[in-house]
Amino acid sequence: MNNNNEKKYIRSHEPVFWGLFGAGGTLTAFMTPVMILITGILVPIGLFGEGKFNYQQIHQFATSWYGAAIILILVALPLWHTFHRIFHGLHDLGVKQGRDWQQVICYGSAFAVTIFVLTLLLQMIAA
C-alpha cells in the first residue's frame, strides 16, 4: 500500500452516494414527472384510469411484493438524489461550517425516510 515516501492518498466514499444520486436522478428525470401527471392530475380529473386507480386497487398493488419494491425504489432513490444535490449545493453556496453535520443530516434524512417507507410497506404487506 505505501510506496515509500509517497503522498498518502485517501479514497473517497463518494462512489456510493454518486451511484444513488445517478440512479435517483434518472428516475427523477424520467419517472417522477409522469407519475405526478398521472396520479396528481390525470386520475383526479378523470382523464385516465377510469376507476382503476381506486383505493382497493392501489392498496393491492402496494401490498404485493413487486408493487412494494417499485414504490420503495420510486420514493427512495429520488430522495437520495435530492439530498446529495442539497449537500453539494451547500458547499457550492460556500456554507463551510459543519460539513460533517451537513453530511449526517442530508444522508441521514434520506436513510431515515427510506427505512420509514420500507417499514410502512412491510407492515402493509404483513397486515
For other proteins, the binding residues (CB under 8 A) are: 1, 3, 9-16, 18-19, 88, 91-92, 94
Question: Which residues, 6 or more positions from 31, have their beta carbon under 8 angstroms from its beta carbon?
Answer: 74
Q: What's the min distance (Å) between Cβ of 127 and other proteins?
A: 37
**Please, which residue, 103 or 114, has the CB nearer to other proteins?**
103
Amino acid letter for position 107? Y
Q: What's the min distance (Å) between Cβ of 120 and other proteins?
A: 30
**Please, which residue, 14 or 116, has the CB nearer to other proteins?**
14
- Angle, CA 118 vertex, CA 112 and CA 119 arms, to 5°: 90
**Please, which residue, 49 or 88, has the CB nearer to other proteins?**
88
**Please, which residue, 14 or 108, has the CB nearer to other proteins?**
14
Amino acid letter for position 81? H
How long is the chain? 127
SS3 category, 73: helix
Please name the residue that has the C-alpha cell 417499514. Answer: 119
Q: What's the min distance (Å) between Cβ of 98 and other proteins?
A: 16
Q: What's the min distance (Å) between Cβ of 84 and other proteins?
A: 10
Q: What is d(CA 61, CA 124) in angstroms, rounded to the nearest whole number?
A: 11
Give Cα 20 distance to the centre of its chain: 8
